[in-house]
A and B are shown apart, each in its own frame.
Chain A
């Protein structure tokens, strides 16, 4: 059974870079058809998708964060990572990693949703 676990500093200073890693266990991140996502949720608020990466290295980012976000994958370590630069208090949130699947089925793409999530890690931006 695939499990995801986020790790990284819980406190980041304003203007610095937030760096998180998601470790995948119980399955291989490489060679699979899954996409690997980062999402976040400020306290008491809704979910915001940050970006995703495919094991080929192709990435897509939320346009609202695109200039500050980089997601990378390390298949040898079965991990993918998030870097968010120039953070402010508005970036304070619980950060989740999750996998989802988009497949070509019978002549059309089919989206299977985000079926595995990490437990989340709280990141606070404060001096």
Chain B
């Protein structure tokens, strides 16, 4: 089983600042199989990035993804007030097919 680790657990920043979220895998993950989600309190997750770097439909271009192998990054170039929520990375693999990281919370400094 591929285990995903996200860091930091909490990221404290101010609106307008740049956020860099890390997702590290215990084994190499094909970039085609790495996705990022945003989850607001009380809501279902929303797909932000798939294929490690492709933005999902309707996602603002301040969100970008990068990385390969075992290290992946979600970057939010300029934080808007609505971006201060939870973020999860997810990989598609063999067994089990789908695992998530524990999440990074972005909160207001």
Which A residues are closer than 8 A to B by beta carbons? 37, 46-49, 52, 60-63, 96, 98, 100, 102, 108-115, 117-120
Contacts and interface: CB of A to CB of B under 8 A. Distances in A.
B41 to A, nearest CB: 10
B46 to A, nearest CB: 8
B103 A46 contact: yes
Interface residues of B, number: 27
B11 interface: no
Contacts of B96: 49, 60-63
Given A96-B44, A111-B33, A48 B50 contact: no
A60 B98 CA distance: 10
Interface in B36-75: 37, 43-47, 49-51, 56-57
Contact of B44 (A49, A60, A118): A118
Given A109-B33, A114-B35, A114-B45, 11 more contacts: A46-B100, A46-B102, A49-B97, A62-B96, A63-B95, A111-B32, A113-B35, A114-B37, A114-B47, A115-B47, A119-B43
Which 4 A-B pairs rank lowest in CB-CB distance, beginning with the nearest?
A113-B50, A113-B35, A117-B44, A49-B98
Contact of A110 (B32, B56, B103): B32
15 contacts: A37-B98, A47-B45, A49-B96, A60-B96, A63-B1, A96-B44, A100-B92, A110-B32, A111-B50, A113-B49, A113-B51, A114-B37, A114-B47, A117-B46, A119-B44
A102 B92 contact: yes
Interface string B97-109: 1111111000000
